[in-house]
Structure 1
Amino acid sequence: MGTSARELADLTPDTRDRYIDLLRVVSLGTVVAGHWLMAAVTDDGVGNLLAVVPELQLLTWALQIMPVFFFVGGFSHALSYRSLRRKHPDRSVYSVFLRARLRRLLRPTMAFVLVWGTAALVVQLLGGGGGMTGVALRLVTQPLWFIGIYLAMVAFTPPLLKLHERYGWAAFGALLGAAVAVDVLRFAAGVPFVEFLNFAFVWLAVHQLGFLRADGRIRAPAALAGAGLAAAAALVALGPYPLSMVGMPGEKVSNMAPPTLALLCHGLWLVGAVELFKGRGAALVSRPRVWRGVVAANGIAMTAFLWHLTAMLGIYGAMIATGITLPEPATGSWWAQMPLRIAAAAGLTALLVAVFRGFERPAGAAAAPVPGTGPIAAVGITLCLFGILGLSMVGFGGLLEGRTATLIAVQVSAPAAVAMALGGWLLVERAGRGIVPDK
């Protein structure tokens, strides 16, 4: 029987940085709410409210909060890896670190992938896959891009943490400089395909800020926030960057896919802003009732994130199936109906979380590392990364037709992506299992 959220909250040591846990919950919760708010669904398909009402794109400067989650990840990864190094100073802990960080991430993800993959196959064998069902088969895997990027951050934590410990802010500066160089080559020199390098440079730079935070080296958060906000505003006003900090349908340049220097500056402003509120946030989560809520939410956050689009599309599908009129997006009736739609999506998400939350249970204590398993773990996480990213792009539509999507110049199908993800996960599990320490 698992430990309850109340018991976990009561067992929390005073030394734990509870504000980081609060940021993790708030960032994922904001992403979920943003997806529900932006969905502009009609009988003809799913659009984006920000395209219907372009003035609302300015809200993405507050609601595009994914950089905060990656910043929190950097902080947590630094603490976790250093803890393993202290326990096993004479061994490489890479494989054990990967397994420990990925178990709570990949177990709920693989459950989601296998459930949806099976459902998609059954639906298409029965001749379905049109209407809202077809939309769902294409869209439900899109948020998996975030998990793919997060896998890369975990994989690169050891070498980048080493660089941080040697160079500090200069290591972050090198990633920032690389992101600048990529955008110069992209927009000024017209070098093809170079922009995809910023999937690494931009997000790893944000992740690197988490290392700096772990060492108490973000000492001027107001300056960081101000510089980031000013730089992002200047880039959007004077450069080729769009206003929206999330991807928009049909746009020639996206700040998200691939990430741009403008998005990195946006991340700097968000990191500075959340650090400014650190004192108030810490005081808030020091209250026992609030902390119990944060602990409970952290225990289901990944499951809720994985299934929230399923819930939203399920509600819209039910409305269409029962003949409920879907008003035109951004009209008065659409806004009036929105609270009910969100409440229904939240309720269905809660039901799905209740069904699948068991896959997100905390893993047991880490085993002792075994020499020579690092390369196996590295191959495993690479396969996981490409499998998850590939699946986020291709979706589950067109399984029987062999539908593919391009991932770094390679055509990837859904079955191949699932096989890579599962195979990689098994390799990480095997490499990181290690030796069970004597009690």
Structure 2
Amino acid sequence: MGISARELADRTPATRDRYVDLLRVASLGVVVLGHWLMAAVTADGAIGNLLAVVPELQVVTWVFQVMPVFFFVGGFAHALAHRSRPRYAAFLRARLQRLLRPTMVFVAVWGALALAVQLLGADRGLTGVALRLVAQPLWFIGIYLAMVALTPPLLKLHERYGWGAFGALVAAAAAVDALRFAADVPYVEFLNFAFVWLAVHQLGFLRADGMLRLPGALAAAGLAGAGLLVAFGPYPLSMVGMPGEKVSNMAPPTLALLCHGLWLVGAVELLRGPGTRLVARAGVWHKVVAANGIAMTAFLWHLTAMLGVYGALLALGRGLPEPATAAWWAQAPLRLAAAAALTALLVAVFRRFERPAPAAPASGAGGPVAALGITLALFGVLGLSMVGFGGLLEGRTALLVAVRVSAPAAVAMALAGWLLVERAGRAGRAGRA
């Protein structure tokens, strides 16, 4: 029997920064709620985006596109974790176990379902859309893997240069956008998947060392920068991807999204005092600990739950109101409640895979194997997020940077990478990674 969430909460040391845990849970919760609200499913099973139906709502993404907050929190946690486990293989296994195990279970279950559906010829309508859509949030897992993999060298740069290391990443992101928009250099924009998100991640290092002393100035600079770039540059208003747009702030990330991340990080740091007081309450802290224990499982399965609700409505002939109409908004609370209930059921089934398995004693051996493993897992998960689970039998592919990748190839890379990371982090021959 594992330790319950309440027991874990009661054992929390006084030195733990509980506000960071609150931010982690809250940011993922906002992402899940945003995905549920943005889905605009019509009576014929087509899935659109509410922000495209009502473009005026795109401005709310400047508050509710909170993925930068999660990556910022990740940087803080990774800095502390690496300093307590400086050996690369052991650090990777410790950080990735609760991430990759539930992800691989999700991939296995949906892969089997997709194969069965396609063999039965039932991959049409909403089902066909679901096979592509449910894999899209895996991009977040892929980016997070890259952050974990690059924590050791980037933490060293931070310890040596402080704000200079962060500034170099910002400058690199700006240079990429200049080459992309001013010089029309092909493929260069994909570099900002690294530069933009790693810059946000680097802010977490700065927070870990108490160097974010002027959050108000950071928020103001980020908000002003994003506003100017959107007003006078080639950047769209929405801070999430929109269907059919020529330029997205998200895929690949842009300098405008980086400025948005600075604004959000500054804003949550300004709220640190009241947030810390809130999470100091025993009842609130117990809920935060419990939510952290299932957060990744809920994130992986929340789109499955949403699509299940819409599929049930269509199958029962209940009909769906036209998106953004008064009837659609009136029905929204019921859809959200049903999606939350179905997500809770899926979490109950799959949550055990998020619990960390008993770890064998780790040695310093296995650094190169761990590096290879996380690289394979990274490209496999990112590839799967782009190609989805549809077209398994037809050999459907998607472009990952400059390489075509199929779903079977992506699954094979992700699985092999996970197994290599697990193997490298276990006890082996003595030595340093």
Mapping of residues 279-428 of structure 1, within 5 Å: 279-364=273-358, 367-371=361-365, 373-428=366-421
Partner residue in 2 for 1:126: 120
* Structure 2 CA distance for partners of 1:174 and 1:366, relative to 1, 3 Å: farther
Partner residue in 1 for 2:3: 3
1:367/1:436 contact within 8 Å kept: no
Stretches of 4+ aligned residues off by more than 4 angstroms = none
Tell me the alpha carbon deviations over residues 291-348 of structure 1, each in whole angstroms, 9 at most, x when there is no partner.
0000000000000000000000000001101101111100110010011000000000
Partner residue in 1 for 2:72: 71
1:62 equivalent to 2:56? Answer no
Distance 2:55 2:9 in 1: 43
Distance 2:53 2:360 in 1: 49
Partner residue in 1 for 2:209: 215
Shift of 1:365: 5.2
Shift of 1:435: 5.2
Partner residue in 2 for 1:21: 21
Gaps of 5+ in 1: 86-92
Partner residue in 2 for 1:89: none
Mapping of residues 70-89 of structure 1, within 5 Å: 70-85=71-86
Secondary structure of the residue aligned to 2:77 is helix
1:116 equivalent to 2:110? Answer yes
Secondary structure of the residue aligned to 2:245 is coil
Distance 2:272 2:332 in 1: 33
Distance 1:319 1:436 in 2: 57
Shift of 1:406: 1.0
Distance 1:362 1:123 in 2: 32
Amino acid at match of 1:281: G
Mapping of residues 106-255 of structure 1, within 5 Å: 106-255=100-249
Amino acid at match of 1:162: K
Distance 1:363 1:267 in 2: 34
* Structure 2 CA distance for partners of 1:284 and 1:436, relative to 1, 3 Å: farther
Secondary structure of the residue aligned to 2:320 is coil
Shift of 1:434: 2.0
| Aligned-CA RMSD value | 1.2
Mapping of residues 263-282 of structure 1, within 5 Å: 263-282=257-276
1:96/1:366 contact within 8 Å kept: no
Distance 1:216 1:55 in 2: 38
Secondary structure of the residue aligned to 1:217 is coil
Amino acid at match of 1:180: A
Tell me the alpha carbon deviations over residues 65-97 of structure 1, each in whole angstroms, 9 at most, x when there is no partner.
000000000000000000113xxxxxxx00111
Gaps of 5+ in 2: none
Secondary structure of the residue aligned to 2:356 is coil
Secondary structure of the residue aligned to 2:249 is coil
Shift of 1:363: 4.0
Distance 2:298 2:429 in 1: 32
* Structure 2 CA distance for partners of 1:31 and 1:174, relative to 1, 3 Å: same
Amino acid at match of 1:46: I
Distance 2:418 2:276 in 1: 35
2:359/2:426 contact within 8 Å kept: no
TM-score for both structures, normalised by structure 1: 0.96
Shift of 1:123: 1.1
Distance 1:191 1:415 in 2: 31
Tell me the alpha carbon deviations over residues 202-259 of structure 1, each in whole angstroms, 9 at most, x when there is no partner.
0000000000000000000000000000110010001110000000000000000000
Tell me the alpha carbon deviations over residues 149-174 of structure 1, each in whole angstroms, 9 at most, x when there is no partner.
00000000000000000000000000
Amino acid at match of 1:71: F
Amino acid at match of 2:29: G
Amino acid at match of 1:237: A
Mapping of residues 29-44 of structure 1, within 5 Å: 29-42=29-42, 43-44=44-45
Partner residue in 1 for 2:51: 50
